[in-house]
Amino acid sequence: MSMESTRSDKSAKRSFNNNRNSASSNSNSNPSNKKKKTSQKTLGVAWGSNSRSSSRSSFSNSPFSNFGSYMVEKNRKLQNQFEAEASTSSHGGSGSVKPIFDGVSIFVDGFTVPSSQELRGYMLKHGGRFENYFSRRRVTHIICSNLPDSKIKNLRSFSRGLPVVKPAWILESVAVNKLLSWVPFQLDQLANNQPKLSSFFTLKRSSVSNSASTHAPCQVNPEAEDSSLKVGTSGDTYFSEVSEPFEHRKQISRESDDLVNENSNASLVEETAGSSGKPCEVAMGIPSNIDAEDESSVKNDLQSSHYQPTALVSSNCINNQNMKGSPSSMVSEPSNQSHSTLGDPNFVENYFKNSRLHFIGTWRNRYRKRFHSLSNGFNCTSSNIKASPLKTAIMHVDMDCFFVSVVIRNHPELLDKPVAVCHSDNTKGTAEISSANYPARDYGIKAGMFVRNAKALCPHLVIFPYNFEAYEEVADQFYNVLHKHGNKVQAVSCDEAFLDVTDSEGDPQLLASKIRKEIFETTRCTASVGIAGNMLMARLATRTAKPDGQCYIPPERVDDYLSQLPIKALPGIGHVLEEKLKKQNVWTCGQLRMISKDSLQKDFGLKTGEMLWNYSRGVDNRLVGLIQESKSVGAEVNWGVRFKDLKDAQNFLSNLCKEVSLRLQGCGVEGRTFTLKIKKRRKDAEEPIKYMGHGDCENLSHSTTVPVATDDVEVLQRITKQLFGSFHLDVKEIRGVGLQVSRLESTENSKQGLERNSLKSWLASASARTEELCKNSHVAKESSNRGCEGEGDETLGQLCGNSVGLSIQMDSNTSNGAACLNEVSVLPPLCHLDMGVLKSLPPELFSELNEIYGGKLVDLIAKNKGKTENINHTLSAYSHEKIEGAMKEGQAARLSSMVFQNEIPVENKAEQHIAKEVLAVSGAESFVPASGLKKTDLIPSSLSQVDTSVLQQLPEELKVDILEHLPAHRMQVFSPNVLLDPTEIPLEALGTKTAENNSGSKDFVLDNNLWVGIPPQWVDKFKVSNCLILNILAEMYYKSGSTGNLSPILQRISSVSLHQLDAFQDGWDEAMYILCELLKQYIKLKIELDIEEIYVCFRLLRRFAMKSELFIQVYNIVSPYLQALVGENYGGNLHMSLKD
Amino acid sequence: MDHKDNQSPQGETARILVEFLEVAITSIVFLKGVYPSGAFERRRYMNLVVQRARHPQLRDYIHSAVFGLLPFIQKGMVERAAVIFFNTDGIPVERFVFKLAVNLSYGSKVEEADLEFTLRSFLIKLSVSESLTKVLPCDYRWEITAYFRSLPEASANKDVKQWIPTDARQWEQPPLLTPIKSMSSKPLCVQLYIEHPSLSEPKPQNGEV
């Protein structure tokens, strides 16, 4: 009971004040205590007095000589008391283990959750100290949840340089039972420059945050750390896996076959996670943050997109030239529009076409296609390498300023001139230099620099636009050369690769010069090569070799080489890590080596610590070709994002989703977690220096996780739209949008299983398959009997016939699929099963199905395949016995005996739930052809016949898809059921379309309920209304934070001049009617549980009524209704008189 | 106190609610200045500074009254709990009404912290609500009254015996309500409002005794 618990706290406190005797008797170590007599002082008065007291260390007489000495004594007693309590409370604790908060002494400032007393309890229990009064000497951490502005302004004088930490630090430390770093728990107001109250105090705040950062220089902004880490990992995951066999490999096998024949040497193409990309890539030549690891564009799209960039680039240039003519128009609207989301409906598409980083990302796809081969051979050899790591020779080949050299290879006269590549050569422009050649670098021109700054440094700098076509050509040539000389090539980027040349005969240095020479001859661009015993050292060697040189670091020279190497040169050390290390006075690898592995791991975390330790010693255990799976796939646009209205934004989002979906498909993965990142212009941010850039922004992000992985555009769009809605932003403020998909699953796995994400893809693939089957038995061979050789053509013919029969049957009987859904206990007849679907079922499911069909499934498949052994092979792991049984039984049950077994009893009742599950699938299956047919406009499937109970049991995703495929007028049949089911929330959450339809039907059923949904229906209705006050209401809904409550909206309105609200005549009656209706429904909604809200609303309305004719009428109409309802519920009337 | 027997969500809710009521009622009594301020002492509850009666009798009255409600609140039988201030004639002058709704079908665990967070707002609002209340006549009394949805059977539970049917007089006209605070969460909804006699109510001195 809480009084009880507080009582104990209180009694503790009380003893501080009153019960001096008891307190001192507890702490009998201090005989001097007994002398003192107390004088009653309240705690409140004592506040702040400690500074005076600190100088006085002792006192002589019991009546305190002054307040200061009293405080000294009080503090001492509090400490004694705390220690006494601590010694008793820690008895229960683990004796030998060092307590968590050893050496930590906290001071709690102000209101916290949990309360200061609870925090005190934690400190007691875990060996920390708790100070009731602040003292610079005793306190090590200040705990508070919120600081007043004045304290933030004078943070220094408030905190005396001590860390100011949120209470969560203590809680989480206790939870994990170790002392966590307080840095991530730093008070929000100090930690990032985006304090919660920023909207009110933006101007002041920026100075505050400055002071915060100067006062506490050791407080690293955790966000900055994050982003640098991200850079690191993005480099790592830059190039994702290939080695896994892909489904689409089949589709491109013909092309690659040819290639493989050509390059018989190229037995394997490996791509790697290896080291991060080139520095200039990380530095972002193009104003975008496109995650470079992203794959994009499925094969088909790739081809077409290859040809377009040049055209677009040139048109870009024209634009820029135009602008040169009238530089003053640079910020003006029209030119803005041509480059922003405002004017260009295909902005997303064009954006990525012009993006260099996008080029680098998508280049992988092309590379994979060209140099694709099987990975098996490599895996064997890689184990060999492991066995003899000593002799390895790794070569790192890197083209010299690739993006520039490629462009100027046709301009020999520019060879010694400073040249840079940039998508715009507007001298005054803020486009960023993406790459500069060495002469240009001599002028101090770096990647990432604005053109105008570069031009200032070097007025005769020549700037070229990108030439993606040429890049592709050169990159291909580059890799052709590499593959010629080694079969273990790990592509890092289009211009950078690792080669394992351990197995090559001859001196690696000779080989290197040979490779360099060939590269120059074929591409007319130079490359540098570093050679060493591992990837790290090879990469570092390249550093020395550049430009146009080569460098070999033999094992014995590694130590020398590293000892003077600045730590920054090591891959994986970014700004943040560098700063941290420099703070520890570590500047070179040699100094880094002095630090023990343990302390490195303690300071920087387990992985980073180990990496630092290894790298500083030149140890790198990565193998060439080692693949790291990419963790996320996404796309982000931070440039040129300007939205006029919500529609713009939605359109943009849906295009972004398309892009991301393509990238997912390109990578062959599907994801479950979707994160939408928004860059929102800061309140006080001016138009960014960079033309159409994002400027000073807040970074917001929301994410959601769906139960089943997907790469489907429509699902993505739905999720994204919903995520976007949850931001409640003014779209005009948005400067950048990114969508990232994580928790990736390989498409391979999910494509086979139950968890096939969307029914639609089921439909599409299945119907496609059926069509194929009907058309061409060869196609059938490929799609259904993949991996099986030597089937008899007759069986195929038979199969083909079957399928044709199947589809015909479907033609003639539309409700077949629905019927299957209806009969829960009836299995679909054997012959109705789609072979392709059966085969793509996961083995577990298949064996279950097989069991239900009494082993006939296996038989069926066996028939089709013509080789039972094969299946035995694939299935033996799961259902060895069954197959044996099936083989015996199987011979008898011929395929020709296609007597429909309409009622195959479920064999085991205990398995009924499994059976149901399976049926859901088979139901869906049989639904597939039906819908497939619908798609081809043969007959629309009538789903009203579907048993809703079956529908309820379908997995969420399937349900959504089914519902989506229903004609809208049929929705109503379902939606009540759907709404009744409490588990349906995710459905609504997922569905925008569905939700709309649901609420639509509800609207119909529940008599115009304006308050249903999020946002409530009235918002949309009012938004499109031609009546000003209604528009304002809808607008205020969003401005007030979309809480769903009326009072915040009305409160906002009270700031609008109400006189002008009456300045309309049209639709007065209509507006009044709908307002009354809105209020009445709101009263009905809230009367029972939240009379306070209604009260607030009506007091506001009453105030409006004093100024507005309309509101007088509304108020007078609704008021009696309100009072009646209040009387009904509360037996009284609301007290509405206006005292104020 | 032993909470082990109240492990159902409703038990948990009721326990938190009853504690809250004890504090809130004390706050109301303090707010109305029934006793000199020296009769109260500052305490911390839900991380807020609140008042607590120092006089054992007063404390016990509030405590026992409220905790006597515990089993009934748990069963959802209590509809309202009111602190009624009335004059010497027994005619109410002001009533602070807690309207309670415990969700009996709520099945999951009750997060004490969440409930406390919302309940705390009552105490905050109460402490600044003095202007909404009426100045009480010089001689008056107060009592805690609970309104049950149905009368519990006296024999069934000895807790019931502590409760005597009230004979506090009712207003003849529907009262005027001034909502103070409302909260609604899944396990529990609480609303606090003040009732005053309606303006057309016959004045106390005019009414017969």
As for the ipTM of the complex, it is 0.85
Query: What's chain A's length in residues?
Result: 1140
Residue B165 binned pLDDT confidence (cut-offs 50, 70, 90): low
User: For residue B196, which residues of chain A lie inside 8 Å, CB to CB?
Assistant: 1135
User: What is the pLDDT confidence band of residue B109, given thresholds at 50, 70 and 90?
Assistant: confident
How many Å separate Cα A215 from the centre of its chain? Answer: 33
Span B19-41, average pLDDT: 89
Question: Minimal Cα distance from A12: which residue of B?
Answer: B43
Q: H-helix or E-strand containing A591?
A: helix A589-594
Q: What is the mean pLDDT of residues A68-77?
A: 85
B153 pLDDT tier (thresholds 50, 70, 90): low
Q: Which residue of A has its CA nearest to B196?
A: A1135
Average pLDDT value for residue range A780-791: 39
Give a three-class secondary structure readout of A183-195. Answer: HHHECHHHHCCCC
State CA A159 to chain mean position distance. Answer: 36
On whether any CB of chain A is under 8 Å from the CB of B168, the answer is: no
Quickly tell me which residue has 């009880």 as its tokens.
A4
Scan for tokens 């985006």, then name that residue: A194
Q: Which of the two residues, A460 and B170, has the higher pLDDT score?
A: A460
- Asked if residue A1025 lies in contact with residue A1078, where contact means CB atoms within 8 angstroms, the answer is no
For residues A142 and A134, what is the distance between their CA atoms, to the nearest angstrom? 9
Q: Are A10 and B43 a contacting pair at CB < 8 A?
A: yes
Separation CA B126–CA B181 (nearest Å)? 8
Query: Which residues of A are less than 8 Å from B63 in CB distance?
Result: 3
Peptide bond into A114 cis (omega under 30): yes
| Contacting residues of B for A1091, CB less than 8 Å apart | 177, 179, 182, 191, 193
Pick the more confident residue, A756 or A853.
A853
What's the Cα-to-Cα distance from A785 to each of A779, A890, A1109, B84, rounded to whole Å?
Answer: 10, 19, 77, 84
- CA dist A242 and A599 (Å) reads 37
Please count the CA atoms within 13 angstroms of the CA of A381 that sit on its side-chain side. Answer: 21
User: Distance between CA atoms of A460 and B103, rounded to whole angstroms?
Assistant: 78
- Which of the four pLDDT bands, split at 50, 70 and 90, describes residue A15? very low
- Single out the residue of A160, A214, A162 nearest to residue A187, CA to CA: A162
Backbone φ, ψ for residue A692 (5° rounding): 60, 15
Tell the residue number behind the tokens 């890049």, with chain if given. A471
| Residue A853 burial (C-beta neighbours within 10 Å; 0-12, 13-18, 19+) | buried
The region that residue B203 occupies, defined by phi over 0 for left and psi between -120 and 50 for alpha, beta otherwise, is beta
Count Cβ atoms below 10 Å from residue A570 Cβ, excluding itself. 23
Does the structure show a pLDDT above 70 at A340?
Answer: no
Chain A contact present for B198, CB below 8 A: yes
Nearest by CB: A1 against B19, B46, B189: B19
Q: How many residues does this entry show for chain B? A: 209
Residue A345 has φ and ψ, to the nearest 5°, of -65, -25
**Whether pLDDT at B98 is above 90:** yes
Q: Is B103 on the interface with A (CB under 8 A)?
A: no
User: A130-144, A625-639, A841-855, A988-1002: lowest mean pLDDT where?
Assistant: A988-1002
- How far apart CA A156 and CA A212 sit, in angstroms, is 8
A398 a known binding residue? yes
Above 50 in pLDDT, residue A118?
Answer: yes
The per-type count for chain A, helices as H runs and strands as E runs, is 53, 18
User: Nearest Cα to A550, choosing from A521, A528, A522?
Assistant: A528
Closest approach of B64 to chain A, Cα-based (Å):
13
Residues in chain B with CB shorter than 8 Å from the CB of A1133 are 174-177, 198
Across the range A495-515, mean pLDDT stands at: 83
For residues A286 and A277, give the distance between their C-alpha atoms in angstroms, rounded to a whole number.
Answer: 15
Question: Are the C-beta atoms of residues A659 and A352 closer than 8 Å to each other?
Answer: yes
All residues of chain B having their beta carbon less than 8 Å from the beta carbon of residue A1094 are 179
Please list the residues that pair with A1133 across neighbouring strands.
B176
Interatomic CA distance for residues A151 and A15, integer angstroms:
31
Q: What are the angstrom distances between the C-alpha of B134 and each of A192, A838, B35, B171, B198?
A: 48, 79, 16, 16, 13
Q: What is the C-alpha to C-alpha distance for residues A223 and A220, in angstroms, rounded to an integer?
A: 8
Collapse the DSSP code of A769 into the 3-class scheme (helix H, G, I; strand E, B; otherwise coil) and give the result.
helix
Helix A356-370 / helix A646-667 crossing angle, nearest 10 deg: 30
**Residue A971 contacts residue A997 (beta carbons within 8 Å):** yes
Task: Give the residue carrying structure tokens 């069986």.
Answer: A795
Alpha-carbon distance of A550 to A840, in angstroms, equals 51
Query: Which of A10, A1094, A1132 has the CB atom closest to B195's CB atom?
Result: A1132
A interface with B, Cβ–Cβ < 8 A, is 1-4, 6-7, 9-10, 111-115, 117, 1089-1095, 1126-1127, 1130-1135
Say whether A1089 and B189 touch across the interface (CB within 8 A).
yes
Beta strand pairing status for A129-131 and A105-108? parallel
Distance, CA of A304 to CA of A297 (rounded, Å): 10
Closest CA to A61 of A32, A101, A19, A24: A32
User: Does the pLDDT of residue A445 top 80, yes or no?
Assistant: yes
| Phi, psi values for residue A799, rounded to 5° | -60, -45
Contact B1 A1130 (CB under 8 A): no
B-chain residues within 8 Å CB-CB of A2? 16, 19-20, 23, 45-46
Q: Is B12 on the interface with A (CB under 8 A)?
A: no
**Are residues B177 and A1091, on separate chains, in Cβ contact within 8 Å?**
yes
- pLDDT at position A833: 60
CB-nearest partner of B179 from A9, A115, A1091: A1091
Query: Which tokens belong to A182?
Result: 């307080």
Partner-chain residue, chosen from A2, A1093, A1133, that has the shortest CB–CB distance to B19? A2
How far is the C-alpha of A1031 from the C-alpha of A1026, rounded, in Å? 7
Report pLDDT for A84: 84
Distance CA A248, CA A691 (A): 41
| Facing residue for A1092 by CB, picked from B19, B182, B198 | B182
Q: Is the pLDDT of residue A222 over 70?
A: no
Catalytic residues of A: 496
Written as six digits, the tokens of A100 are: 């968590």
CA gyration radius for chain A?
A: 36
The pLDDT-based confidence of A857 (bands split at 50, 70, 90) is low
Write down the domain spans for chain B: 2-160+168-196
A65 C-beta neighbours (distance < 10 Å), count: 11
How distant is the Cα of B182 from the closest Cα of chain A, in angstroms? 5
Chain B residues touching A114 at Cβ < 8 A: 47
Answer for the pair A638, A713: CB distance below 8 angstroms, yes or no.
no
In whole angstroms, give the CA distance from residue A588 to residue A566.
Answer: 4
Element (H or E) spanning B190, and its range?
Answer: strand B188-196
* A452-488: pLDDT as tens digits: 888 888 888 888 888 888 888 888 888 888 888 877 7
The pLDDT value given to residue A883: 41
- Looking at beta carbons, which residues of chain B come within 8 Å of A1? 1, 3, 15, 19
When pLDDT is averaged across residues A428-450 and rounded to a whole number, the result is: 80
Mean pLDDT of chain A: 63
Q: Count residue pairs from A and B with Cβ separation < 8 A.
A: 82
pLDDT of residue A526 exceeding 80, the answer is yes
Chain centroid to CA A878: 37
Minimum distance, in Å, between the CA of residue A1011 and any CA atom of chain B: 18
Put simply, the answer to whether A1130 touches B193 (Cβ < 8 Å) is yes
Residue A585 CB coordination number (10 Å): 8
Contact B101 A1089 (CB under 8 A): yes
For A345-369, what is the mean pLDDT? 65
The DSSP line for A489-517 is: EEEEETTEEEEE-TTS-S-HHHHHHHHHH
Question: How many CA atoms lie less than 13 Å away from A966 in the CB half-sphere?
Answer: 25
Token pair in block for residue A1122: 């309100």
Q: List the one residue out of A11, A161, A143, A166 whose CA is nearest residue A85.
A: A11
CA distance A1095 to chain B (A): 7
pLDDT confidence of residue A51 = 42
Beta-carbon separation of B45 and A3 below 8 A: yes
Instruction: Give residue A212's pLDDT.
Output: 38
Residues of chain B with Cβ-Cβ distance to A117 below 8 Å are 44
Nearest to A113 among B47, B63, B176 (CB): B47
- Chain B: nearest CA to A602, how far in angstroms? 35
**Residue A263, both tokens:** 């390059």
Measure in Å the smallest separation between the Cα of A28 and chain B Cα atoms.
Answer: 29
CA–CA separation, A365 and A354 (whole Å): 17
Q: Look-up: residue for tokens 């796995």?
A: A749
Task: Give the closest-approach CA distance of B46 to chain A in angstroms.
Answer: 8
CB within 8 Å: A115 and B15: no
Instruction: Return the ∠ at Cα A286 (arms to A636 and A351), rounded to 5°.
Output: 55
As a dihedral over the C-alpha atoms of residue A273, residue A279, residue A284, residue A290, rounded to 10 degrees, the angle is: 0
**Angle, vertex CA A763, rays to CA A757 and CA A769, nearest 5:** 120
A990 forms bridges with which residues in the sheet?
none
Residues A477/A522, Cβ–Cβ less than 8 Å:
yes
How far apart are alpha carbons B54 and B36 in whole angstroms? 11
- Helix, strand or coil, per DSSP, at residue A702: strand
What's the pLDDT score for residue A765? Answer: 44
Give the confidence band of A218 by pLDDT, cuts at 50, 70, 90.
very low
Candidates B48, B63, B193: best to mutate against A (most CBs of A within 10 A) is B193
pLDDT at B26: 92
- Cα A140 to chain centroid distance, Å, stands at 36
Give the residue with greater pLDDT, A656 vs B164.
A656
Q: Quick one: pLDDT at residue B192?
A: 92
Task: Answer whether residue A165 shows pLDDT above 50.
Answer: yes
Contacts of A932 (CB under 8 A, 6+ apart): A763, A766, A767, A770
Q: For residue B101, which amino acid is it? A: A
Are A534 and A618 a contacting pair, CB within 8 Å?
yes
Side-chain half-sphere exposure of A121, counting CA atoms within 13 A:
11
Residue of A1, A113, A1135 lying closest to B15 (CB–CB)? A1
CATH number of B2-160+168-196: 3.30.900.10
- Coil, helix or strand at residue A130: strand
